[in-house]
Amino acid sequence: MGMLIERLYDVKFGQTQIWRILGGLGFSVQKPERRALGRNEAAVQVWKRQTWPALNKKPSDKDG
């Protein structure tokens, strides 16, 4: 969420402040009660191995 706020509004907040803002707006952490019946385990594993690490990387000095 912090990256999205920074990209859209050119304002940077710390993680704690973001949680406070979202909480003040009525948002909370959500976790599904159970897994979807149509869940494709093979696709989930590919996403975890390939997509998630790329999304989780922090930008380096070279990136901007």
The C-alpha atoms of residue 37 and residue 1 are separated, in whole angstroms, by 28
pTM (2 d.p.): 0.45
Q: Count each helix (H run) and each strand (E run) in the chain, helices first.
A: 4, 0
- Is residue 34 helix, strand or coil? coil
Quick: pLDDT tens for 27-59.
Answer: 998 888 888 888 899 999 999 999 988 887 776
